Amino acid sequence: MSQKPKTSPRDLKNKPKVLLIYPNQVRESFVELYQKHRFPNIGPRSNPMINLGMLYIVAAIRDICDCQYIDNNTEKLSTHDLTQYILKQKPDIVGFGGTLTEWPQASQVAASLKEQAPDITTCYGGPNASANPTKHVKYFDFVFRGWAEQSFREFVLRMSKSPNAFSIEGIPGLCWRDQTTEDPIGGNEGCIVPPALNINLDDVKYPARDVIDIENYKRVQFPTHATQCCDGKGVCQSPVDVVVASRGCPHACSFCSSKSIWQQRHKTRPAAFVADEIRMMQRLYSTKTIHFRGDNTTANATYLESLCKELKTLHNETGLTWICQSRINVLSRPTIRMMKKAGCRVICAGFESANDETLQAIDKGFLFKDVVHAIENLEREEMFYSGGFIVGAPNEGEKEIERTLLFTRNVSRLPHSFIPRGAGRLVGWPVSEMYNEMLANPELIAFNWQCGEQIISNTRKLSAAQVESCIARHW
């Protein structure tokens, strides 16, 4: 049986001190990747966006602990300076969030803390932690999988009640490393459990936006090309802010990590609650446009109808506009028309490919004719749209890649399109089915970045360099 991490003796006369950190993207971590590959599909963001996931955790625990939050995307402390700051604060728990692009700094700081202050408990959560806990328990004391508002709160509560020997048994989504080895990186898996997904979104508090300065974030830019509508064509008004209407994704695309993160679960917040939060955002932050950042806002037709009803009232009363993400095969003309009347201005969708063989290989559940049909519907309803195409799937050769790139170039010229003229490259996201396929077939691996945080792949017909040459010709 694996041995749980030790909980060091603590004198908690007051509430436990918890420091939550969203790490920065360290440029040095990307140097080798950029040197080897021209289109890695990841990299440091020039303009930070608000991370609501961490702010949800702050809201969930700040009444039971001394909680501080640092968004290092805005503070921009070096890894050394961030470590020194944490040491000066003398926290009981340090919790890191972030995606795979922030993982290098999170893991480096956690390692420094273990060396300099081993009594500090390090935790890791978020989508990256949820996708690949077997790796991450080797770098952090505890890993929280899934939606951690309740589980992390329970963890902090148990520490506050019994700091010298608190039990961690039965906390949903809580994983840890086997402590029986002297090698912290080479240890066994320890306790790996399913993600915590049984949460009632009705009970989740609003994100603690009050602990950040919202003006530190460029409220017209998001990591999708839909933001062009806010500046370039004036479709949406700024400021643009993020609200969550749904969590998870019910689909199982083989190149995407969502299946391993969300277990194909999709949950929605009551539409009236979402509308109340938006009204609060308008009152406190002068919000003009909402970007719903859930993976698939339109997944539930009944819910979408109720959400549009609430948003239409806001649109008519205040001029609110909004952006959302959608799967293409639900975008019928009546649905688009309903969304447009409710103030929707841009729909972001994963179109993915102009090749049926590729769409089938990545388990999209639709064909190229459906891609064309969705774009025709969007254009006929004069709905602006953005989205992604990818090339370099294991089945693809130059002919398949060229077909998608030519199609994206043509679509990029359409009146309501914000789709870029090129396409992104398919990479291995942990731990998608395609990622596991790459690990099982080493000939598909061109470059393994940061111990499996991303795999740059060859196809069965082309090298990674040849894929990049095809992309470069169209960019």
CATH code, domain carrying 162:
3.40.50.280
445, with CB counted inside 10 A (0-12, 13-18, 19+), is: middle
Reported as a single tens digit per residue, the pLDDT across 229-238 is 444 445 778 8
Q: Are 101 and 159 found together in one domain?
A: yes
Q: How far apart are CA 171 and CA 370, in angstroms?
A: 43
Q: Are 324 and 462 found together in one domain?
A: yes
CATH at 462: 3.20.20.70
291: which strand partners? 242, 323
Q: How far apart are CA 92 and CA 61, in angstroms?
A: 14
Q: Is residue 215 part of a domain?
A: no
- Measured at the CA of 358, the angle between CA 442 and CA 354, to 5 degrees, comes to 140
Q: Are 296 and 404 found together in one domain?
A: yes
Reported as a single tens digit per residue, the pLDDT across 71-91 is 999 999 999 999 999 999 999
Q: Are 236 and 143 found together in one domain?
A: no
Mean pLDDT of 432-460: 95
**β-strand 289-292 against 240-243: which pairing, if any?**
parallel
Number of compact structural domains in the chain: 2
**CA pseudo-torsion sign 384, 291, 371, 420:** positive
Q: Is residue 11 part of a domain?
A: no
Q: Are 11 and 43 in contact (CB under 8 A)?
A: no
Residue 51, domain extent: 17-176
**β-strand 121-125 against 93-96: which pairing, if any?**
parallel
Asked if the model's pLDDT at residue 326 lies above 50, the reply is: yes
Q: Is residue 118 part of a domain?
A: yes
Amino acid at 1: M
Q: Are 107 and 229 found together in one domain?
A: no
pLDDT at residue 30 in the model:
77
Distance between start and end Cα atoms, the chain:
54
Spatial CB neighbours of 226, under 8 Å, sequence gap ≥ 6 = 291, 323, 346, 348, 384, 386, 418
Q: Are 160 and 230 found together in one domain?
A: no
Q: Are 104 and 237 found together in one domain?
A: no
Asked if the model's pLDDT at residue 223 lies above 60, the reply is: no
Confidence band (pLDDT; 50, 70, 90) for 260? confident
